[in-house]
A = this chain, B = another copy of it.
Amino acid sequence: MVLLACTSNHGLSFWTDAHRDAAGALRRVCDATAQDVARNRFLQLSSEPTQGVFFVLEGWLAIAKSTTFGQRQIVDFVLPGEVFDSGSGTRQRSSTDLIALTPSRVAIISQARWQGLLRDHWDLQEMLNRRMAASYSRIAGRLLRVGRGCADARLAYAICELCLRATDRGVVDGHAFHLPLTQEILGDFVGLSSVHVSRTLTRLRREKIVRTSKHMDFVIKNADRLAAVAEVDLDDLRTEIIPRA
């Protein structure tokens, strides 16, 4: 479950103003355990014992679930400043993989320590609650498109979602951003084959809704039509899936 905030691109900076003491405690814990992770490394394998709580300082990670025969679904991405808690229920085994999509920097916090932090800092727990609600909204929204939407809607929705998460600026015309993903990973995110992601992206490009260059550099050309294809209200989407500070 993805828990904490990402407004700036640097993990802890978010916390410094509103939540000084929680931030301090968190920072101490993170400094002690932070480590660098190479691209494509698995930080957590499903069916292996949970290692605790992962706090992302830099990089993009993916939470993925797989069927017994290798079909993969990406459940959510974890961005800098956010937390992934694979065993919230104090479970023994993780049920998900956690994969570094870019070179990353991650702190691993033990369950016990994390519980202690939450208990001692109510504002941390409170923020956690908001983050969890946002993360739940994200997955619920995606479930709707994956279950009921056509390929265009799924992809357009994913682009809106990721545009909002990747940067502070909303989904507005001319906004450019980069996603550190391949089309295959995007497909695993929205339940499409990479081939069909390619075709659908081509269609969105041809209709001048987005522009892309050099592997996943996006520019929003027509936010209104993008929102229409995604069947979503952009303002609503933002308040739903991006936790407020």
Known: A89-B134, A125-B125. A139 touches B143 (CB 8 A): yes
Q: How far is the CA of A98 from the CA of B15 in the complex (A)?
A: 34
Chain B residue with Cβ nearest A240: B95
Known: A146-B191, A147-B73. A1 touches B133 (CB 8 A): yes
Q: For residue A126, give the distance in angstroms from its CB to the closest CB of chain B.
A: 8
Per the 8 Å Cβ criterion, residues 223-245 of A in contact with B are 231, 236, 239-240, 243-244
A153 partner residues in chain B, CB cutoff 8 A: 67
Contact A136 B71 (CB under 8 A): no
Contact B134 A65 (CB under 8 A): no
Q: For residue A144, give the distance in angstroms from its CB to the closest CB of chain B.
A: 4
Q: Does A152 contact B (CB under 8 A)?
A: no
User: Which of A63, A71, A118 has the largest count of B CB atoms less than 10 A from its CB?
Assistant: A71
Q: For residue A4, give the distance in angstroms from its CB to the closest CB of chain B.
A: 13
Q: How far is the CA of A92 from the CA of B190 in the complex (A)?
A: 28
A75 partner residues in chain B, CB cutoff 8 A: 140, 143-144
Contact A130 B67 (CB under 8 A): no
Chain B residue with Cβ nearest A143: B143
Q: For residue A187, give the distance in angstroms from its CB to the closest CB of chain B.
A: 9
Q: A: which residues have CB within 8 A of B?
A: 1, 63, 65-69, 71-73, 75, 85, 87-93, 95-96, 118-119, 122, 125, 129-130, 132-137, 139-144, 146-149, 153, 190-191, 231, 236, 239-240, 243-244
Given A65-B144, A95-B140, A136-B136, 19 extra CB contacts under 8 A = A65-B140, A65-B143, A69-B231, A71-B148, A73-B147, A75-B140, A75-B143, A89-B134, A90-B130, A90-B244, A91-B240, A92-B239, A93-B236, A118-B129, A119-B122, A132-B132, A135-B136, A139-B143, A148-B191
